[in-house]
């Protein structure tokens, strides 16, 4: 007689629960330092290698404050990145790892929820969603050349198809109408235009605005190491050609201040202050502060490849990010005298978490 | 009364699993200078070695899969017919963690990590695991190898059962 019991005891299955938890924890616990995640060596530190292609991610700030733009005190636009906004970057790496951004993709499946509130009441008031249905591709500094997105409100879907030289708009699958980029951008301003056309134009402007803010911050990442050696780092802005607007400096300045010490490291904060800083190319004055919180950088220890850089963490509730408290004033010139139109002042608040990662 | 030798196959498998996991810890402690969360603060004084050579890059994933199959088989004994399912399940679980490190999936997973993980030991680095970990197809291969090797190994341990 076999004295060993071959009878299975079902309660033993319960042991699999802590075993599965232990397995998961032991896998996760291999991360968090260097190569992490069960692979990668920790050899002597090689020189920093910046790749020519990265993914980038934007999420809402930990405090939930979405990017908000007040336009001339007349209406407010809130831009809510739905959980995660994904893109991809091509870049050129020059001598001393100087980075030039070349082109980008905004991924299909991205979603932005926008809320418009006006003081006087406007047909544009309310909430609508921008759904990316095909990757949007563009060279940096140029208009996109391909991609599709839908602008969706209750019972109305506007499909915006990006063409080589403009866009094609279609309401609820109806006939498509072609516009050049200039015409598309101007649709918003003309109150005689149908609301769906104006809303589509606003959506296009919002996407452009987010991309612009992303690249503004991405470009400053290159300078942070320099700032730590020369803190605070002060740079003069463009000097007004002719007479500057009333109460505005002829030449403002921008100051980047590192709030850390020792070596630049994860968790460090920066302030990026604009003191009536005029940009001649954009004909805009920037005034205020962009706070860059919780710097994050990770380098593959055995290859030296930069695989994460940005501000703030992607996990829900993770601290940090790019926080705007900034006023942007449009300037116009008339016979050598610059002025700021009353409706040309926008104020930005809120922000986003930004992370650039190796694909 | 239950004879003492009744538990030997399970105990043997559990001890073997512990040994395999200990070797995995050694890989991190020696060849990777303790640069992982679960060893932080323990191995600061250790100089890096190259004891396991290139094998050390993928040995932990192999050993982890193998060890947890042994543990599961020990717990579920006598269910030898379940062994292929046990191997397959652990292969899938381990692969899911590895695949979770592929961008942009890693960022989506990191964004979904609940805020209450913050400050809880181990859980607090879940975001880091996905974001900073690097997907490596050879890790998938080593996981598969672990699952395949586990099958005859468990049979060997259960010989005479």
Q: What is the mean pLDDT of residues A101-121?
A: 92
Contact B101 A37 (CB under 8 A): yes
Residue A250 has pLDDT above 60, yes or no: yes
Band the pLDDT of B96: cuts 50, 70, 90: very high
Which residues of chain B lie closer than 8 angstroms to A13, CB-CB? 75-76
- A273 three-state secondary structure: strand
Whole-number pLDDT of residue A42:
37
Rounded Cα distance between A165 and A175, Å, is 19
Give the residue among A240, A276, A283, A239 at the shortest CA–CA distance from A255: A276
Between residues A13 and A204, which one has the greater pLDDT?
A204
Between residues A30 and A276, which one has the greater pLDDT?
A276
> In chain B, which residue's Cα lies nearest the Cα of A359?
B103
Q: Mean pLDDT in chain A?
A: 87
Give the residue among A309, A351, A300, A292 at the shortest CA–CA distance from A43: A300
- A291 three-state secondary structure: strand
* CA A323 to chain CA mean position, Å: 11
Q: What is the mean pLDDT of residues B48-75?
A: 88
Whole-number pLDDT of residue A38:
39
Q: Give the gap in angstroms from C-alpha B27 to the nearest C-alpha of chain A.
A: 10
C-alpha torsion B68→B71→B76→B77, nearest 10:
130
Rounded Cα distance between B110 and B115, Å, is 11
Give the residue among A248, A253, A213, A215 at the shortest CA–CA distance from A233: A253
Which residues of chain B lie closer than 8 angstroms to A5, CB-CB? 2, 6
Domain layout of chain A by residue ranges: 48-357
Whole-number pLDDT of residue B125:
82
Residue A34 has pLDDT above 50, yes or no: no
Instruction: Say how many Å lie between the first and final Cα of chain B, rounded.
Output: 19
Interface mutation vs chain A, best among B79, B111, B118, most A CBs within 10 Å:
B111
Band the pLDDT of A39: cuts 50, 70, 90: very low
Phi, psi of A77 (to 5 degrees): -120, 125
Band the pLDDT of A229: cuts 50, 70, 90: confident
Whole-number pLDDT of residue B2:
43
Band the pLDDT of B41: cuts 50, 70, 90: low
Which residues of chain B lie closer than 8 angstroms to A4, CB-CB? 3, 5-6, 161
Band the pLDDT of B4: cuts 50, 70, 90: very low
Q: What is the mean pLDDT of residues A232-242?
A: 92
User: Which of B57, B131, B134 has its CB closest to that of A314?
Assistant: B131
Q: What is the mean pLDDT of residues B53-77?
A: 90
Rounded Cα distance between A120 and A71, Å, is 13
Q: Mean pLDDT in chain B?
A: 82
* Residues contacting A273, CB < 8 A, separation 6+: A254, A255, A256, A257, A288, A289
Q: What is the mean pLDDT of residues B4-14?
A: 72
Whole-number pLDDT of residue B32:
74
Whole-number pLDDT of residue B69:
95
Whole-number pLDDT of residue A15:
84
CA distances from A328 to A199, A208, A275, A331, A343 (A): 22, 15, 11, 10, 11
Contact B76 A38 (CB under 8 A): no
pLDDT in tens, A121-136: 889 999 999 999 999 9
Contact A29 B122 (CB under 8 A): yes
Q: What is the mean pLDDT of residues B139-160?
A: 90
Q: What is the mean pLDDT of residues A17-25?
A: 91
Residue A205 has pLDDT above 60, yes or no: yes
Which residues of chain B lie closer than 8 angstroms to A308, CB-CB? 131-132
Contact A84 B71 (CB under 8 A): no
Residue A194 has pLDDT above 90, yes or no: yes
Q: How many other β-carbons are positioned within 10 Å of the β-carbon of residue A17?
A: 9
Which residues of chain B lie closer than 8 angstroms to A317, CB-CB? 114-116, 118
Instruction: Say how many Å lie between the first and final Cα of chain A, rounded.
Output: 62
Rounded Cα distance between A212 and A214, Å, is 5
Is A67:A116 a contact under the CB 8 Å cutoff? no
HSE-CB of A53 using CA atoms within 13 angstroms: 4
* Interface list for A 72-91 with B (CB within 8 A): 83-84, 86
Kindly state the helix (H) or strand (E) to which residue B14 belongs, with its residue range.
helix B8-26
Q: What is the mean pLDDT of residues B77-83?
A: 75
- The DSSP annotation for A79-115 comes to EEE-S-EEEEEEEEE-GGG-EEEEEEEE-TT-EEEEE
* Interface list for A 265-304 with B (CB within 8 A): 298, 300-301
pTM of the predicted model as reported, rounded to 2 decimal places: 0.71
Place of tokens 């919180």: A293
Highest mean pLDDT among A40-54, A83-97, A281-295, B113-127: A281-295
**Beta strand pairing call for A146-153 and A126-139:** antiparallel
Kindly tell me the sign of the dihedral angle through the C-alpha atoms of B74, B23, B142, B91.
Answer: positive
Residue B35 has pLDDT above 70, yes or no: no
ipTM entry: 0.88
A18 vs B: CB within 8 A? no
* CA A92 to chain CA mean position, Å: 20
Give the residue among A313, A355, A328, A302 at the shortest CA–CA distance from A42: A302
* Residues contacting A210, CB < 8 A, separation 6+: A58, A67, A79, A81, A85, A112
Q: Give the gap in angstroms from C-alpha B26 to the nearest C-alpha of chain A.
A: 12
Rounded Cα distance between A270 and A227, Å, is 9
Q: State percent of chain A over pLDDT 70.
A: 91
Q: What is the DSSP-derived secondary structure letter of residue B121?
A: T
Whole-number pLDDT of residue A4:
47
Q: Give the gap in angstroms from C-alpha B19 to the nearest C-alpha of chain A.
A: 15
Rounded Cα distance between B98 and A330, Å, is 49
Contact B122 A38 (CB under 8 A): no
Q: Give the gap in angstroms from C-alpha A2 to the nearest C-alpha of chain B.
A: 10
Residue B97 has pLDDT above 70, yes or no: yes
């Amino acid at each position: 007689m076999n004295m060993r019991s071959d009878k299975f005891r079902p309660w033993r299955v319960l042991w699999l629960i802590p075993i599965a938890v232990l397995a998961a924890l032991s896998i996760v616990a291999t991360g968090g330092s260097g190569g992490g995640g069960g692979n990668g060596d920790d050899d002597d530190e090689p020189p920093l290698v910046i790749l020519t292609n990265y993914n980038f991610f934007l999420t809402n700030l930990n405090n939930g404050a979405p990017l908000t733009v007040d336009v001339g005190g007349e209406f407010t636009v809130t831009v809510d990145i739905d959980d995660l906004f994904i893109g991809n970057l091509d870049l050129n790496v020059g001598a001393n790892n100087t980075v030039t951004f070349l082109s980008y993709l905004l991924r299909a499946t991205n979603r932005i929820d926008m809320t418009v509130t006006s003081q006087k009441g406007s047909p544009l008031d309310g909430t609508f969603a921008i759904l990316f249905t095909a990757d949007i591709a563009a060279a940096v500094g140029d208009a996109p050349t391909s991609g599709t997105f839908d602008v969706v409100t209750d019972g109305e879907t506007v499909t915006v198809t990006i063409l080589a030289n403009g866009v094609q708009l279609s309401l609820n699958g109806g006939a498509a109408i072609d516009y050049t980029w200039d015409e598309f951008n101007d649709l918003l301003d003309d109150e005689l235009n149908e609301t769906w056309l104006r809303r589509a134009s606003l959506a296009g402007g919002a996407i452009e605005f987010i991309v612009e803010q992303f690249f503004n911050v991405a470009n400053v990442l290159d300078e942070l190491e320099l700032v730590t050696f020369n803190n605070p780092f002060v740079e003069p802005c463009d000097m007004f050609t002719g007479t500057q607007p009333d109460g505005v400096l002829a030449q403002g300045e921008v100051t980047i201040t590192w709030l850390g010490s020792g070596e630049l490291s994860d968790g460090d904060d920066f302030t990026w202050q604009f003191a009536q800083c005029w940009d001649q190319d954009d004909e805009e004055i920037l005034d205020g502060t962009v706070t860059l919180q919780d710097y994050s950088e990770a380098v593959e220890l055995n290859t030296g490849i930069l695989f994460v850089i940005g501000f703030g963490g992607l996990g829900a509730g993770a601290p940090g990010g790019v926080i705007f408290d900034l006023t942007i004033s449009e300037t116009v010139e008339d016979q050598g005298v610059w002025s700021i139109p009353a409706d040309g002042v926008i104020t930005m608040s809120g922000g986003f978490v930004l992370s650039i990662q190796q694909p | 009364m239950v004879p003492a030798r009744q538990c030997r196959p399970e105990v043997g498998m559990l001890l073997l699993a512990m040994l395999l996991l200990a070797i995995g810890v050694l890989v991190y402690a020696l060849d990777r200078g303790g640069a992982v969360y679960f060893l932080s603060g323990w191995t600061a004084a250790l100089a890096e070695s190259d004891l396991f050579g290139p094998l050390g890059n993928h040995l932990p994933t192999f050993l982890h899969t193998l060890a947890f199959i042994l543990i599961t088989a020990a717990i579920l004994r006598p269910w030898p017919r379940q062994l292929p399912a046990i191997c397959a399940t652990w292969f899938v679980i381990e692969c899911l963690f590895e695949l979770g490190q592929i961008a942009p999936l890693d960022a989506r997973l990191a964004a979904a990590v609940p805020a209450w993980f913050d400050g809880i030991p181990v859980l607090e680095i879940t975001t880091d695991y996905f974001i900073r970990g690097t997907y490596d197809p050879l890790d998938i291969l080593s996981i598969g190898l672990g699952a395949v090797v586990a099958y005859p190994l468990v049979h060997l341990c259960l010989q005479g059962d």
